[in-house]
């Protein structure tokens, strides 16, 4: 009978000791070669220099990163590189990723342990065949390491259901590869691509940081919980299956985990995994992953807009083909529309995102968001008046102009100060001592 991969579940109680316990129970580092080159991959899904924003459950804690680096050095690791591909609205922006790394204490880790922190977007990429002749470009540091130490957050995700070890590796690929993952191809969709991210990398040890967990992630507009959990394994699929179960999902319900299991000739359920440490039943805490949408006379829109009473708008639900850049813009668009509504109906305005949507008949104005949607539908016969928001990422000035042209009088100040908006979400956590900023610093 084959040996089942070990996955440890540990209550986070003390710095260093808890992470050490998670790694020891799972035997995740028992085969680490002496002087090994290790690529450490945190999750920094968002950053802004403008304001303080909720990092809990969104970003890997510096506490856990410091602990895994300490333990790697104790185990005789040599070169350690911390790397993340921070997505910014301006691809030329180098200051924001640098500010993130310094604020999170990676500079102190560099001085203390000699580690190097890199913005993946500034580093060389290597083309990798992920199967069937399909390729993605991965950061060379990850591909050439002896070991990848993957440190995602324990969170759900509005497109991929969960975002754990495998999904976190999307931050090691370049922007064109990320866009490829959000294909409009129904067979090779986001789930299909994400399932293959770990397949051709060096061995991947995963420590899921669940000090804080996030519901309806991946960003700061989700709901944060203080959960005090760590989940670890040297098998990234097994640890993700357990992480999904903790969040309330059978692994086979998560498409990319089901695909990953098929690719590896394994079952999608938990029957081929051995869990050590805490009981799964004792730590399971269902987290919702999806945002509610409502059907209106015009079609569909997010439930908060329908509840507000907005009429004359068809803003259907995002799909898998909407990539990171347009996802970030999507929330801002919805905020602008809500702020612009004055009580009367809009003029049958339709907003289309991603790559796969097609215009509906009977709408007077159709806003096409982003270069992919413009290219796909600008000449569609159902469109009476096409309003284009070009660019990849879309130009903010064009966004304001497009909304105004559609009769939605957007406040341009909202867009000018978009980097400050995440700060408003801090009010949810004001006065709650369990949400500690100290977890995102290195002393």
> Tens digits of per-residue pLDDT, 307-361?
999 999 999 999 999 998 898 889 899 999 999 999 999 999 999 999 999 999 9
pLDDT at 403 over 80: yes
pLDDT band at 266 (very low <50, low <70, confident <90, very high): very high
3-class state of residue 25 by DSSP: helix
Q: Specify the number of domains making up the chain.
A: 2
Among 289, 307, 334, the domain boundary falls at 289
Whether residue 2 is predicted with pLDDT greater than 80 in this model: the reply is: no
> 52 is written with which tokens?
């303080």
| Cα–Cα distance, 410 to 271 (Å, whole number) | 53
Beta bridge partners of 150: 41, 206
Q: Are residues 408 and 360 in the same domain?
A: yes
- Co-location of 214 and 115 in the same domain: yes
Do 125 and 216 fall within a single domain? yes
Across the range 391-395, mean pLDDT stands at: 86
8 A C-beta contact, residue 257 and residue 125: no
pLDDT of 298 strictly over 80: no
- CB count in 10 Å sphere of residue 65: 27
The reply to whether 54 and 184 lie within a common domain is: yes
Residue 111 lies in a domain: yes
What would the mean pLDDT of 49-67 be, rounded to a whole number? 97
Question: Exposure string (b/e) for 296-324, b if CB count within 10 Å is 16 or more?
Answer: bebbbbbeebbeeebbbbbbbbbbbbbbb
Same domain, 39 and 139: yes
Residue 33 lies in a domain: yes
Closest by alpha carbon to 321, among 263, 370, 267?
370
Percent over 90 (pLDDT), the chain? 91
198 CA to centre of own chain: 16
Please state the rounded mean pLDDT for residues 101-129.
Answer: 97
Distance CA 225, CA 212 (A): 6
Are 245 and 161 in contact, with CB atoms under 8 Å apart?
A: no
Name the phi and psi angles at 315, rounded to 5: -125, 85
- 175 and 40 in a common domain: yes
Tell me 60's DSSP state.
-
Phi first, then psi, for residue 56 (nearest 5°) are: -60, 125
Identify whether 40 is part of a domain.
Answer: yes
* Domain at 14, CATH number: 3.40.50.11440
- pLDDT of 90 reads 83
Q: Of the residues 289, 314, 335, which one is the last residue of a structural domain?
A: 289
Query: What's the rounded Cα separation, in Å, for the pair 280 and 15?
Result: 23
> Is residue 433 domain-resident?
no
Which of 240, 231, 226 lies closest to 191, judged by CA? 240
Contact present, 402 and 337 (Cβ < 8 Å): no
The domain boundary, picked from 266, 289, 312, lies at 289
Determine what percent of the chain falls in helix, strand and coil, rounding each to the nearest 5: 35, 25, 40
pLDDT exceeds 80 at position 379? yes
Domain shared by 240 and 299, yes or no:
no
Q: Of 186, 266, 263, nearest to 4 (Cα)?
A: 266
Question: How does residue 394 score in pLDDT terms, banded at 50, 70 and 90?
Answer: confident
361 and 391 co-located in one domain = yes
What's the DSSP call for residue 61?
-
* DSSP letter string, 281-335: HHH---------EEE-SSSEEEHHHHHHT--SEEEPPP-TT--HHHHHHHHHHHH
CB 302 within 8 A of CB 292: yes
Gap between the Cα atoms of 72 and 67, Å rounded: 9
Decide if 332 is inside a domain.
yes
Same domain, 304 and 186: no
Whether the CB-CB separation of 139 and 85 falls below 8 Å is answered with yes
Whether 298 is covered by a domain: the verdict is yes
Does the structure show a pLDDT above 90 at 120?
Answer: yes
Q: In sequence order, what are the beta bridge partners of 276?
A: 8
State in Å, rounded, how far the first CA of the chain is from the last one. Answer: 47
Pair 28, 169 in one domain: yes
Q: How far apart are CA 127 and CA 146, in angstroms?
A: 18
Residues 252 and 302 placed together within one structural domain of the fold: no
8 A C-beta contact, residue 439 and residue 63:
yes
Per the domain annotation, does 429 fall within a domain?
no
- Give the pLDDT confidence score for residue 1 in this predicted structure: 60
Q: Can you give the pLDDT at residue 72? A: 98
pLDDT at residue 174, as a whole number:
96
Domain that includes residue 124, residue range: 6-289
In angstroms, how far apart are the furthest CA atoms of the chain?
A: 69
In a domain, residue 217? The reply is yes
**Pair 207, 16: CB distance under 8 Å:** no
How confident is the model at residue 299, as a pLDDT? 84
- Give whole-number Cα distances, 80 to 38, 70, 115, 405, 412, in Å: 5, 11, 5, 52, 44
**Residues 390-397, mean pLDDT to the nearest whole number:** 87
What is the three-class DSSP state of 263? Answer: helix
Burial label for 133, CB within 10 Å (0-12, 13-18, 19+), is: exposed
Contacts of 357 (CB under 8 A, 6+ apart): 316, 319, 373, 377
> Rounded to whole angstroms, how far apart are CA atoms 349 and 398?
17
Checking if the pLDDT of 437 tops 90, the result is yes
* pLDDT tier for residue 87 given thresholds of 50, 70 and 90: confident
416 pLDDT exceeds 90? Answer: no
For residues 129-153, average pLDDT: 97
- Predicted confidence at residue 231, as pLDDT, reads 99
Structure confidence by residue, pLDDT tens digits, 5-44: 999 999 999 999 999 999 999 999 999 999 999 999 999 9
pLDDT of residue 89: 80
The pLDDT score that the predictor gives to residue 307 is 95
Range of weakest confidence among 33-47, 158-172, 389-403: 389-403
Indicate if 228 and 283 belong to the same structural domain: yes
């Amino acid at each position: 009978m084959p040996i089942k991969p070990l996955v440890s579940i540990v209550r986070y109680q003390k710095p260093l000791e808890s992470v050490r316990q998670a790694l020891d129970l799972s035997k995740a580092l028992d085969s680490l070669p002496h002087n090994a080159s290790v690529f450490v991959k945190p999750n920094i899904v968002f950053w802004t220099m403008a304001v303080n924003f909720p990092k809990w459950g969104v970003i890997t804690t510096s506490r856990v990163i410091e602990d895994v680096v300490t333990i790697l050095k104790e185990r005789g690791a040599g070169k350690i590189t911390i790397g993340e591909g921070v997505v910014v609205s301006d691809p030329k922006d180098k200051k924001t990723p640098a500010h993130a790394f310094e604020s999170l204490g990676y500079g102190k880790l560099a001085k203390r342990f000699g580690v190097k922190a890199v913005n993946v977007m500034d580093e060389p990429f290597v083309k990798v065949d992920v199967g069937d002749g399909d390729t993605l470009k991965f950061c060379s540091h990850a591909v050439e390491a002896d070991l990848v130490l993957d440190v995602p957050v324990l969170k759900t995700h509005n497109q991929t259901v969960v975002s754990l070890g495998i999904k976190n590796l999307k931050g090691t690929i370049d922007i064109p590869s990320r866009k490829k993952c959000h294909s409009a191809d129904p067979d090779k969709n986001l789930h299909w691509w994400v399932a293959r991210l770990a397949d051709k990398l060096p061995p991947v040890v995963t420590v899921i940081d669940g000090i804080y967990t996030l519901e309806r992630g991946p960003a700061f507009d989700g709901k944060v919980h203080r959960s005090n959990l760590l989940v670890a394994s040297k098998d990234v699929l097994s640890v993700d299956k357990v992480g999904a179960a903790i969040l309330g999902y059978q692994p086979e319900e998560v498409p990319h985990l089901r695909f990953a299991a098929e690719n590896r000739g394994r079952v999608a359920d938990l029957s081929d995994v051995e869990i050590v440490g805490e009981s799964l039943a004792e730590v399971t805490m269902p987290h919702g992953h999806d945002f509610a949408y409502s059907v209106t006379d015009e079609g569909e829109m997010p439930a908060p807009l329908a509840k507000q009473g907005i009429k004359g708008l068809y803003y259907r639900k995002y799909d898998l083909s909407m990539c990171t850049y347009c996802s970030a813009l999507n929330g801002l668009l919805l905020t602008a529309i809500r702020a612009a509504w004055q009580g009367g109906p809009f003029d049958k305005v339709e907003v289309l995102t991603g790559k796969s949507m097609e215009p509906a008949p009977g709408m007077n104005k159709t806003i096409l968001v982003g270069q992919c949607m413009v290219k796909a539908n600008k000449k569609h016969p159902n469109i009476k008046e096409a309003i284009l928001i070009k660019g990849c990422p879309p130009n903010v000035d064009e966004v304001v102009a497009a909304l105004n042209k559609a009769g939605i009088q957007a406040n341009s100040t909202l867009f000018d100060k978009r980097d400050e908006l995440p700060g408003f979400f801090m009010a949810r956590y004001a006065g709650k001592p369990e949400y500690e900023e100290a977890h995102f610093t290195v002393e």
